[in-house]
Amino acid sequence: MTFRKYEFTPTQWATAKAKITLTASGEGEGELTWDATKVVAVVELGKLCTEWGTDEEGNPICVKESSKISVDILWADQPGTTSFASYVVWPEPCGIHVFAGWEQAYAKDYCEANPSAAYCQPPAPVEP
């Protein structure tokens, strides 16, 4: 299995989603059946906040959200069709969402993709 994070415009996500969906079915409107031969789980995070502010009481509020939809996919094997590759994003680990038990695997893949990222640089040893 492989865990990847993606960002799509709404139109791009509709096209990509069709590639990993068997049928629109179920009791509720818009319920999907994911193709289990391709994906284990899909979490549509929606349009994430890109800029935070505070309200009059000092509470954080989103003042600007992304125009793209964030989606996390746990693939059954390697990441799906190559058409998904151009939508991969690498937010720093321990962010908005991670599949339980996949934290270390994502952090490893993140550092392989972003070796110079501050997150991937171990602290210097402290001299006594």
What residue spans of the chain are helical by DSSP H?
Answer: 10-20, 103-113
Residue 65 in any domain: the answer is yes
Residue 92 in any domain: the answer is yes
Residue 125 in any domain: the answer is no
Residue 18 in any domain: the answer is yes
φ, ψ of residue 10 in degrees (nearest 5): -55, -40
Residue 97 in any domain: the answer is yes
Residue 67 in any domain: the answer is yes
How many Cα atoms are found within 13 Å in the side-chain-facing hemisphere of 59?
Answer: 2
Total tally of structural domains belonging to the chain: 1
- DSSP letter at 101 equals T
pLDDT of residue 124: 78
Q: Is 111 helix (H, G, I), strand (E, B) or coil?
A: helix
Find the domain containing 24 and state its range.
Answer: 2-120
- Which pTM was predicted? 0.82
Residue 101 in any domain: the answer is yes
Going from the first residue of the chain to its last (128 residues), give the mean pLDDT of each consecutive group of 10, the final group possibly shorter. Answer: 94 92 62 85 93 93 95 84 86 87 92 93 81
Residue 26 in any domain: the answer is yes
